[in-house]
Amino acid sequence: MSISDKNDALLIKAESGRDLSREDIIALLKLPGNYSAALYFAADRVRKQEVGNEIFLRGIIEFSNYCESNCLYCGLRKGNSGLSRYRMSEDEIIDTAHQIQETGIPTVVLQSGEDSFYSQETVCRLIKRIRKETDLIITLSLGERDLNDFKVFYQAGAHRYLLKHETASTELYKYLRPGCNQQSRIQCLRRLKELGFETGTGNMVGLPGQTPEILANDLLAMKILNADMIGIGPFIAHPDTPLAGIDNDDIEMTLRVLAVARLLTRNTNIPATTALATLHPQGRILALQAGANVVMPDFTPNMYKSRYDIYPGRTDTGTAKDIIEKLKMDVHSIGREINFSAGSRFGNQHQDTVH
Ligand code: SAM
Ligand code: SF4
């Protein structure tokens, strides 16, 4: 069989849903450049077949940029003393949740640095108020917490959690997240799944020292963890971190990893990440055409938004209405529609039926 016949056969195998070995995944990531379009088309067809043509929205509130961790890649790291820190009050968070509800978006994502100021009790109070005052489904993205916190958050009414595994490489993890333990993060992910959370994981692409072999392990980890949502974003260097100057101006590998994630996991929710939109003006559209089916517009109040400075170049400002109108235009330009239902892998009744 010629090399091009082998590549064609591999793409057919991946699209058909047959099990992919680690070698297959590495080969997909290493396909010659002239196969990129075919890989994205295959992932796009699988996306359409498995999760439909519609795009689901989650409105994100980045409510605190304080962080007790020191991840080498992130502008919110504790060691970044130049960052002006903020914490949104409970009322500010609730007001913003109401704005999200008014746009018709069904899900709010509460994200922050690892900030113990928001105790178990405070987070529960927030969850209960949002549940009482709105119809929003609540996703948390607070980093690692005590395993008991997860249970209490679930009981309070938050049923989705995003916690990227970041990288499957033990060495890279140890280097990039000093003082943190990869096994603890995996334990958190397993616990979230056990408790019944719709659980999101994911990685960054373009990290220093990362190889296609490591990325294949990332993809296998997403599959093994049986993730419901997968966030795949390019690493973007922040000038005030130890990784300053490590440029990653190529979105190609991120799109490939995203496409392979769709081919491998079939019916997961995969967002077109803000980091992709930041790195490339068409990044969001390209991701939506390479397997993604979710967009997470940022509703953090403008007075705080620029201070949630994970990486430079985030530009998504404007009112809630502006954000939705712009998204609608983007989505219509590629012949897709926004769906204002919750887009659960378990069906839209998940929120009511899991108890
Ligand atoms: N603190 C929580 C955590 O780490 O899970 C949630 C907030 S954290 C800012 C959200 C995500 O930002 C992380 O999962 C990481 O993948 C991403 N991130 C951090 N620094 C980044 C960078 N320089 N480039 C791209 N993504 C980055
Ligand atoms: Fe903190 Fe999350 Fe940034 Fe790490 S990635 S420094 S845990 S906000």
How remote is the C-alpha of 59 from its chain's centroid?
12
- Is the Cβ atom of 202 under 6 angstroms away from ligand 2? no
List the single range of 8-17, 116-125, 246-255 with lowest mean pLDDT.
246-255
Average pLDDT of span 47-68: 96
Asked if the model's pLDDT at residue 325 lies above 60, the reply is yes
Secondary structure of residue 139 in the 3-state scheme: strand
Q: How far is the CA of 142 from the centre of ligand 2 (A)?
A: 9
Report the pLDDT value the prediction gives residue 109, as an integer from 0 to 100. Answer: 98
Asked if the model's pLDDT at residue 338 lies above 90, the reply is yes
Sheet holding 59-64, edge to edge: 59-64, 107-112, 137-141, 160-162, 198-205, 229-234
Q: pLDDT per residue over 74-101, tens digit each?
A: 999 999 999 999 999 999 999 999 999 9
* Residue with the larger pLDDT of the pair 221 and 344: 221
Report the pLDDT value the prediction gives residue 346, as an integer from 0 to 100. Answer: 57
Report the pLDDT value the prediction gives residue 327, as an integer from 0 to 100. Answer: 86
* Per-residue confidence band for 51, with pLDDT thresholds at 50, 70 and 90: very high
pTM of the predicted structure, to 2 decimals = 0.95
Q: pLDDT per residue over 154-171, tens digit each?
A: 999 999 999 999 999 999
Q: pLDDT per residue over 98-149, tens digit each?
A: 999 999 999 999 999 999 999 999 999 999 999 999 999 999 999 999 999 9
Q: Which token pair is 186?
A: 């995996």
| Whether the Cβ atoms of residue 159 and residue 199 lie closer than 8 Å to each other | no
Report the pLDDT value the prediction gives residue 354, as an integer from 0 to 100. Answer: 28
Average pLDDT of span 188-194: 97
Q: How far is the CA of 103 from the centre of ligand 1 (A)?
A: 26
Average pLDDT of span 283-298: 95
Asked if the model's pLDDT at residue 181 lies above 60, the reply is yes
Average pLDDT of span 56-67: 97
What is the C-alpha separation between 30 and 46, in angstroms, rounded?
Answer: 20
Q: pLDDT per residue over 196-248, tens digit each?
A: 999 999 999 999 999 999 999 999 999 999 999 999 999 999 999 999 999 88
- Is the Cβ atom of 60 under 6 angstroms away from ligand 1? no
Strands 337-339 and 229-234: unpaired
Half-sphere exposure of 64 (CA within 13 A, CB side): 20
Percent of the chain topping pLDDT 90 = 87
Asked if the model's pLDDT at residue 351 lies above 60, the reply is no
Q: Looking at ligand 1, which atom is closest to the CA of residue 308?
A: 9
Report the pLDDT value the prediction gives residue 247, as an integer from 0 to 100. Answer: 84
What is the C-alpha separation between 152 and 120, in angstroms, rounded?
Answer: 8
Report the pLDDT value the prediction gives residue 345, as an integer from 0 to 100. Answer: 60
- Is the Cβ atom of 316 under 6 angstroms away from ligand 2? no
Asked if the model's pLDDT at residue 319 lies above 50, the reply is yes
- Is the Cβ atom of 176 under 6 angstroms away from ligand 1? no
Q: How far is the CA of 74 from the centre of ligand 1 (A)?
A: 6
* Per-residue confidence band for 355, with pLDDT thresholds at 50, 70 and 90: very low
What is the C-alpha separation between 154 and 139, in angstroms, rounded?
Answer: 10
The phi and psi torsions of 54 (rounded to 5 degrees) equal -90, 160
- Is the Cβ atom of 73 under 6 angstroms away from ligand 1? yes
- Is the Cβ atom of 76 under 6 angstroms away from ligand 1? yes
The per-residue pLDDT of the chain, averaged, comes to: 93
